[in-house]
Structure 1
Amino acid sequence: MSRHPVEALLRPPVELWSAVVALATAGIAVLAPWALMMPPGVAYGAAGALALLGIVRGRQAWRVLTYQRNLRRLPTYRLRADQVPMSRRKLFLGRGFRWTQRHTQRLRDTIRPEVQRYVQPGPLYHWARRKEVAWEATPILNWLAAGLRSRAWWNPLRPLPPVGGKPALHAVEPDEQDVWMDIGERVGHTLVLGTTCVGKTRLAEILITQDIRRGDVVIVFDPKGDADL
């Protein structure tokens, strides 16, 4: 899969079918070896090999499914102020990864017309967004509209979080890690660019929180008067 120069992650998870067949055959070999015309000793050995194959193929299928899910909706990542990592020598910036040619190829693949069903929310999602507005003022149905608007885990049609941006920019790397920079690299000015509500103030919170916990002097000028900051 990912070992090949050209990946194909926007496709049906065909590994899942071979995993199911391998695990089912392993179960038959253990419970009814006579059905496979094998003596018990041979059947148990074959069951172990088939179970291992099923696990490997199942993990590959899970990776494809997780990648496709993250293209539509990334897992929520939250930190309280007391959970922000702190180091005397490093500065925590958040979670991310080093961008390489592989990520460029993955991002380019997401704009191909034939794979949009793996990238864009499906028809049921758009139906739910229409109905949560249409039913908002209708008795009884407004309860259903409230359920469709809920971002609870049990709602498969919950709306995307209001964080802006493009999920694919993070989803192209499923194994993100904590990103740190040396404290000594902060001697110059830092410019953070971004439109409204994309996380500039939240980044400032992360940096300021670490400075305060290290005991450094912090002076903040906030022209917007952000109450959360």
Structure 2
Amino acid sequence: MKKINVLILLIFTAFYGYGQNNEFEKKLNKFRFSLNKELEKYDDEKIYNLKFDKNDSIIILIDNFAFENENKIKIYRENILKKYENNPDFKFNINEYKKADFNEINDNLNGLNLSKNVPLSKLLWINPITEISAFKTIYFSQKRGAVKLALFNAKTSITSSLIETRKINKNQWEIIDNSYDIVSKFIYDLKKGKVIDVEIFEKK
């Protein structure tokens, strides 16, 4: 559990940006920009180590924003997932990949309270595509080591993933992310606002 939390902190240095595609994204960007002023209250070390707790003023602001916009955040997430639904460009040949062991992470997913252990997760993982990228980084960190992680991050800064989504039921979506070196399958729960299951496939 400790290992996962440390890795999550490392991941947040490379999260995705948000575009200006709708009114909520504009509101979100405006809110995130306003946090610059709040960050001036903290020393540099606390910021680059992301050592915030639930009593920090910046976390209180984030919690309030998330609470006040709970329904809009759910709609925002669903719209992002719909964007990749039945993607005609998506390709994945299962025969070219072998399933990796991700059981340890999956065993801890239900008990992983991100908002408690990593308070910034409430803001940084508003976008489900950002969250799934974090699990790919966790996999490379834990299973492949620092060199492979650095290589993977370098490749993803040059290339892009192919993503396809499929609605499973009222609250759950399947997300498949083909990053070429690995293919990741996720079950994302809109009601819980988080990934509840992960499968990783490595290129043979």
TM-score (norm 2): 0.25
Larger radius of gyration: 1
Higher strand share: 2
TM-score (norm 1): 0.23
